[in-house]
A and B are shown apart, each in its own frame.
Chain A
């Protein structure tokens, strides 16, 4: 479903060009669960952002279902964000001014889902993640693990095909981290394609495939 070929990402400063990604080639199939690993500064987030259409590569080709997705119009890009992919962040990035319920509901509003359907979909997820009792709380009132669950719920409520997670467990204790990974695993089993960035070898093992980045270059791409 997703194909990257010869992706470069570099930043030009006055006298030199710094490569963050260099000649990255990558193919992701539907139903895949990919873990990206690598030392800090190796370009993991940059790669994920490019896949997530939040950043542009400096050179190379990127296509989704054989359609190039470089230089997309704002409208098309927004469409991809609404319907095709979901994001999870290390810092959760929930909207502080909104309740749990509203945080999960917001992507559906952007998608234009009708109010009644929204209620059903959000209720469904709250139920699934055992958060029904917490639906009217604000993010600051939750533990880190709970916040990340809300983050996942928000990312998947719109039923995206692709889930992108940048160190989803980075701020969590291991028990909570494991719970998050179990959740991702279940989602993958239900058919969702997942790409996660992680520093944790054990959590990387949840993936079906592990990619190791070093200085912007893919050093290893292996089945786990």
Chain B
């Protein structure tokens, strides 16, 4: 019996090659998409689980109720470590860490390589030795009990160790950090796995922190929300209880404004770092889209199976007459479907594995996916495949097994199937609506990305090089300026605390004419005299800071957005108040984008700095001519002025692409393009099946002879009107949905909707639909009536 089953299935496959190939392709696409996104989600959910204490690790984060909406900050002040958590009995271990050079993007630390050059290394941390108890870290050299207990010691990752000490045996050797701090290597640890939220490339011992940072009293600091506090709870401890204990203790010590500590479990660190559901929603939408694609493929499978069963109806009639039961026929069909889905799933695994680079590109990520060693995922995929097989085989198997042999053998079964609006048509119309929607949205996003990348930022972003430098000693800016501007290749140089797209200093101000208690959040920047000319900012009113007016150091320059908010008609001389101090406005700068073009332009105020470089500073130069030459030039001059402090010049595009909105939109664009191609292919297969069904039914009803007799043109016309009505439906559904997405799309600046996006999408879908019809009609036209008659 089993052999009979399989020969049957095999023969069916051989007999209906084209059909089976189309149908399997359809399922392979559906499953490949499903597998791709299942692995993505499985990967995202696997984050941090390699830690043996996974379930008991929490990060103490800060809930800031003084901002609206409430801000959940992943950092917390260091005093928590010393005065809050250590006393809670349920806490087994506390761990204080801080990212080196603070949290600002693009910061990092410099290491001196064997050849004397500087290595810029991101993701370094100050850390306590308890990191080895809390997280599961494998030491390659050194000892977990004292790796980070002493000052001036550093634990480095294997990769970094290979860069710094290519000859090996790093333990005990010295490494120079930031050109001037020698520390000794106390341990080398295996790199953190890819799916770890914490990916420290090196760990400097916490006792080194007060020395190097110049902050000896950091353990009493309750306000610097820039540290990572982790706790490891004892087994069985109730995190809610611990949470409330910490809060209570906190209230007793310090009722600090409206910021509270709270426990955030490691299991949620990755998918919702800020206790926000953004990423979960994103993942949910992706899974939904992937499942939708799979469902569309299954719908096609059912439609195609039914269409094809008209051909197999005779066979089923015969089988019934010679003693096959309904159950047997249904079971066999079901088995065939399940076999098809399992084969498709297996093929899809390979397709998916081969498509991971594409997924990485779409997501702007670099995840190392492998399906073969992920047994739970494979089991899940095959269970899903089994379920899909049974579900999509059930309906056709019931329909097919219920064929009445007398009617089927007379070829009469489908004569009553001619109702005009069938479920099949609605399903195919729905498929087209979805692909049209996806296509239009892809075009909109395509335009949007171009718009973002090409938007006028309001300042001259070309020919800018910038660097961060952090000297301890004071250095008059004019010294640097003279040294650098002696080269004609350099047009301008300035320094400031932030530059466009890098850094942000917030604050609240009030202003002349503001209502009582009225204040506004601003972005401020401390600049020198040369900032505005370097970036080619344009003045709308008043003037730039000038050395000729000594009182300018008490003044400020606001942007047009600020002017609008303050509501002044004559801004010059009006005052704003920051931390109670008045600052008269000396000029208004035309609006430019200090941050992502995704966001509206903020209320922005510039203050004059002392023109003396000290501490963390951003230097910007505008060059003329060749960038490489300019870069070498400024690096050499700056190296002469600051021999003890490392720096690295970057061009402005580096800063620009740090804007998270750009990869986000690029990713969205690629995602929609991907799904629009997939849904378009799937709905084409769906249409193919529907037309196949119609054509088969007609040939069976009136015979090929007569189909050929009535002109091919009229059939073409008939099918086309059918498809055009479906297309009309798709336009009615797809276009408004796409417009809705455009309207709700986040972002302060959007390009107006282009009609072209709609036309091109509709035309594309229409052409594909007409090609599908043409294929079928041509097939009838060239078919041999004699051959076809044998089946009549």
Contacts and interface: CB of A to CB of B under 8 A. Distances in A.
Interface residues of A, number: 28
A54 B4 contact: no
Given A81-B323, A158-B323, A95 B409 contact: no
Nearest to B411: A91
Given A109-B1, A110-B328, A97 B12 contact: yes
B325 interface: yes
B325 A74 contact: yes
A49 interface: yes
Interface residues of B, number: 24
A137 B304 CA distance: 30
A49 B11 CA distance: 30
Given A54-B405, A109-B1, A97 B325 contact: no
Given A97-B8, A98-B11, A89 B409 contact: yes
B782 interface: no
Nearest to B317: A93
Interface string B309-324: 0000011011111111
Interface string B326-349: 101000000000000000000000
A107 interface: yes
B7 interface: yes
A214 to B, nearest CB: 22
B564 interface: no
B321 A78 contact: no
Interface string A136-163: 0000000000000000001100100000
Nearest to A140: B790
Contact of A82 (B1, B4, B318, B323): B323
Given A93-B318, A97-B315, A106 B405 contact: no
A107 B322 contact: yes
Interface string B399-441: 0000001100100000000000000000000000000000000
Nearest to A49: B406
A102 interface: yes
B15 interface: yes
Nearest to B16: A97
A110 B326 contact: no
B323 A95 contact: no
Given A97-B11, A97-B15, A109-B1, A78 B325 contact: yes
Contact of B4 (A49, A74, A109): A109
A91 B319 CA distance: 15
A137 B323 CA distance: 23
Nearest to B13: A97
B4 A106 contact: yes
Nearest to A91: B409
A52 B409 CA distance: 14
A96 B321 contact: no
A55 B412 CA distance: 15
A95 B318 CA distance: 7
Contacts of B11: 97-98
A22 to B, nearest CB: 19
B109 to A, nearest CB: 72
B322 A96 contact: no
Nearest to B11: A97
Nearest to B320: A81
A67 interface: no
Given A54-B406, A102-B7, A93 B314 contact: yes
A75 B320 CA distance: 12
Interface in B1-55: 1, 4, 7-8, 11-12, 14-15
Contacts of A110: 319, 322-325, 328
A62 interface: no
A75 B325 contact: yes
A49 B407 CA distance: 11
Nearest to B322: A107
B319 to A, nearest CB: 7
Contacts of B318: 93-95
Interface in A82-106: 82, 86-87, 89, 91, 93-98, 102, 106
A122 to B, nearest CB: 13
8 contacts: A78-B325, A82-B323, A95-B319, A97-B14, A97-B315, A98-B7, A106-B4, A107-B322
Interface of B: 1, 4, 7-8, 11-12, 14-15, 314-315, 317-326, 328, 405-406, 409
Given A87-B322, A95-B318, A96-B15, 17 more contacts: A49-B406, A52-B321, A54-B321, A74-B326, A78-B324, A78-B326, A82-B323, A93-B317, A93-B318, A93-B321, A97-B315, A98-B7, A106-B319, A107-B323, A109-B4, A110-B319, A110-B328
